[in-house]
Homo-oligomer: A and B are copies of this chain.
Amino acid sequence: MESSFKFEILHTSKKSGARVGRIHTPHGIIDTPNFVAVGTNATLKALDSKIAQDMGLQLMFCNTYHLMLQPGTKTIAQAGGLHKFINRSAPIITDSGGFQVFSLAYGTVKDELKSKGKKKQNNSVLKIDEEGVLFRSYRDGQKILLTPETSVQAQKELGADIIIPFDELPPYHIDKKDLKKSLDRTHCWEKRSLDEHLKNPNNQAMYAVVHGGIDKDLREHSANYLSSLPFDGYAIGGSLGKNHTQMFEMLSYTVPLLPKDKPNHLLGIGDLASFEECIKLGIDTFDSSHPTRCARHGLLFTNNGMVRILNAINKTSFEAIDTHCECFTCKHYTRAYLHHLFKAKEMTGYSLATIHNLHFMVQLFATYRKLILEDKL
């Protein structure tokens, strides 16, 4: 069977590397550039799949690590796959679980930057070697072996439209020799993941994950090596630097090395300050839990900046979060009511705020696409 995955570029900006495209998947189209909402546990936080899909979120990111532990990928396979399980007919992407197990072992890059490189100890990772990672489920103590092969098998059971090979997440504080060693292992694991995937493509696409930290040579090496393999798209992962400047610099030499005719994805970046620059460098999709996490903290996005809903000024602000916004929340509720719901710690507030921020993301990326089509970005 020919894969129904296809990427077409509709327009490349005359002003930058920004491009407007369309990713075709078995569950429909993803217009690019686009934002990918994160639903770690097979749901967005405080929002059900139906509402999320009706809002126009074209791609949803679910985490294989979490779903392996609860409810288990076999259960989801029994349900007929992730789409059926969560009742989403639009595209889904899953990751490999690598990020989470290495975060268990080393702490996240963010933790690490905060703690200045002091490693977090965690007893749940029992062994890391060339085969993969053996860890203990925090839910039931069961030992789980995550390898390129088992990760891909798990992602086959989930059945997402786009899947990701198993990689190693090296610590940020690592010398070049060790980073090179980690990169070699990651390349080996990605090749094994791809091989496993191609045994049974299952109408899924697989994106490589380009590593190399903020080392130009290693990023080039990674981009070149992975581009030589028949991946369907290219995600940029690993350490993206400790600030925007480092990240933009890294992207400026990495993105041009990726196959132009394939979609690319920037893993885990979703702060508003990053999008425009990244899109200009040619990034197609971004996933992040940032907008939904902000929502639950009462930080609401608008074109005139962030509204902190718990600020006292909103107690008697009887207008929408954004009077021009067409979202369900802005159409029906005022800042004053949301302020009250957050003060009273009512879940309703978290849902309404989440709807608003995600609607903002959908609109924001529609605007980016429009600007690119008009050569204004």
Point out residues on A near B: beta carbons under 8 Å: 41-50, 66, 70-71, 75, 78-80, 85-87, 315-316, 318, 328, 332-334, 336-337, 339-341, 343-344, 346-352
Contact = CB atoms under 8 A, between A and B. Distances in A.
B41 A75 contact: no
Contact of A346 (B41, B75, B334, B336): B41
A334 B42 CA distance: 13
26 contacts: A41-B340, A41-B344, A42-B337, A43-B341, A44-B348, A45-B347, A46-B347, A48-B333, A48-B348, A48-B351, A48-B352, A66-B344, A70-B343, A70-B344, A71-B339, A71-B343, A75-B340, A78-B318, A79-B336, A85-B334, A85-B336, A86-B337, A87-B332, A87-B333, A347-B351, A351-B351
Contacts of A50: 328, 332
A65 to B, nearest CB: 13
A55 to B, nearest CB: 14
A48 B332 contact: yes
Most buried by B among A316, A339, A350: A316
A62 to B, nearest CB: 12
Contacts of A66: 344
Given A71-B315, A87-B337, 13 more contacts: A41-B340, A41-B344, A42-B337, A44-B348, A45-B348, A46-B348, A50-B328, A66-B344, A70-B340, A71-B340, A79-B336, A87-B332, A351-B351
